[in-house]
């Protein structure tokens, strides 16, 4: 893997990292649960065909300022500023995973003319009492990897502290990512996104791992029925909730084919 270029976008006065890599049509990615403390193989696969732009959600690794957002409207405007600042509004495709998937869907709902395609990997934002989303936060640290992934080692590798990194700040950055997701989605993961799905008019790819233990399969059906644009559903074999970590090639291929 080569190193991505790094720039920053200010959101509510706080810097949020933007990674960029690859050549081709521009495509954006909003990270899943836990964020991206490291560049991942999935993004390299995408970078073979696209200019991949990865802005960090405030509070996720590389991004600050999550405590400036109190309401969901604050969050929508913050992510709007983030993706606009990263050059992703104006017709680029946008990918989002889990919490990033819910926020990407809101971008397409609020600014439908600005997103050409949407790819959502097990997106959050809904909740059904008779088929609840799993609580991702009430976990001991060693339980998170097995909950999120079919191959938990991918989680451990992502979260392992690299040599030479400040050992005090690294775990705090990982904890901050969980806090930021909680600040947006506590306690149920439900942002009322169901009410806004009808505003999404772009073609949308719905991806879910066949062993996803966080988002029930029925939620994908709710997305499919609710989104006004054309939808395609793709199940990824051998994958948990973070499909882009479990099966990076298969997810990247599905997105490439869709776009």
Partner 1 sequence: MKHCWFHLMPYTELPDDFRDNNPSVWVDIDSNLFDPERAHHMYNDFLDEMEFAADMGFDAICVNEHHSNGYGLMPSPNIMLASLARRANPDTALCVLGNSIALYNPPTRVAEEMAMLDCISGGRLISGFPVGSPMDTCYAYGQNPSQLRERYAEAHDFIVKAWTEPEPFSFSGRFNQQRYVNIWPRPVQKPHPPIWVPGGGSVETWRWCAEMDYVYCYLSYYGYKAAQATMQGFWDEMDRLGKDRNPYRAGFLQFVGIAETEEQAWELYREPAEYFYDRCLRVSARYANPPGYVTEATQRAGVESQIAAAAAGGPDGVANTSARPGIQKTSLIDKSAREFEAIVENGYVIIGTPDQVAEKLREVVKDLRFGHLMLLQQFGNMSKDLANYNTRLYAEQVMPQLADVWEDWEDHWWPQPMANAERATPDRAIMAAAAE
DSSP one-letter code for 98:
T
* Closest separation in Å from C-beta 222 to partner 1: 22
For partner 1, the closer of residues 111 and 137 by Cβ is 137
* 172 vs 217, beta carbon nearer partner 1: 172
d(CA 36, CA 33): 9
Closer Cβ to partner 1, 139 or 228, answer by number: 139
Choose between 91 and 171: whose C-beta lies nearer to partner 1. 171
**CB of 171 vs partner 1, minimal distance in Å:** 6
Phi, psi (5° rounding) for residue 157?
Answer: -65, -40
Best CA proximity match to 92, nearest among 138, 29, 150: 29
The distance of closest approach from Cβ of residue 169 to partner 1 in the complex, given in angstroms and rounded to an integer, is 8
Minimum distance from residue 50 beta carbon to partner 1 (Å):
32
144 or 197: CB nearest partner 1: 144
Which of 14, 122, 123 minimizes the C-alpha distance to 78? 14
Q: Closest approach of Cβ 163 to partner 1, in Å?
A: 16
Residue 204 DSSP SS3? strand
Please tell me what DSSP assigns to residue 123: -
Q: CA–CA separation, 195 vs 199, rounded Å?
A: 9
User: SS3 sequence, 223-252?
Assistant: HHHHCCCCEEEEEECCCCCCHHHHCHHHHH
CA 232 – CA 246 distance, rounded (Å): 21
Give the shortest CB-57-to-partner 1 separation in angstroms: 13
Judged by the rule CB under 8 A, the positions of this chain that interact with partner 1 are 66-67, 70, 137-140, 143, 167-168, 171-172, 175-176, 178-183, 186-187
Which residue, 116 or 190, has its beta carbon nearer to partner 1? 190
């Amino acid at each position: 893997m080569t190193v991505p270029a790094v720039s920053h976008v200010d959101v509510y006065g706080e810097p949020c990292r933007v990674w960029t890599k690859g050549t081709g049509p521009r495509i954006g990615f909003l990270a899943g649960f836990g964020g991206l403390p490291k560049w991942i193989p999935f993004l390299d696969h995408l970078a073979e065909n696209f200019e991949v732009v990865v802005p960090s959600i405030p509070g996720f690794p590389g991004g600050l300022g999550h405590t400036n957002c109190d309401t969901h409207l604050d969050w929508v405007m913050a992510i709007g500023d983030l993706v606009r600042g990263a050059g992703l509004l104006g017709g680029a495709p946008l990918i989002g995973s889990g919490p990033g998937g819910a926020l990407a869907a809101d971008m397409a709902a609020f600014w439908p003319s600005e997103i050409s395609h949407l790819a959502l990997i097990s997106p959050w934002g809904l909740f059904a009492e008779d088929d609840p989303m799993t609580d991702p936060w009430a976990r001991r640290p060693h339980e998170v990897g097995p909950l999120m992934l079919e191959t938990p080692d991918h989680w451990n590798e992502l979260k392992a502290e690299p040599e030479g990194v400040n050992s005090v700040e690294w775990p705090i950055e990982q904890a901050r990512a969980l806090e930021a997701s909680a600040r947006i989605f506590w306690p149920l993961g439900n942002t009322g996104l169901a009410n806004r799905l009808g505003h999404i008019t772009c073609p949308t790819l719905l991806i879910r791992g066949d062993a996803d233990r966080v988002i029930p399969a029925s939620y994908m059906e709710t997305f499919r029925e609710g989104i006004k644009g054309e939808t395609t559903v793709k199940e990824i074999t051998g994958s948990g909730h973070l499909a882009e970590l479990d099966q990076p090639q298969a997810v990247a291929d599905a997105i490439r084919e869709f776009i």
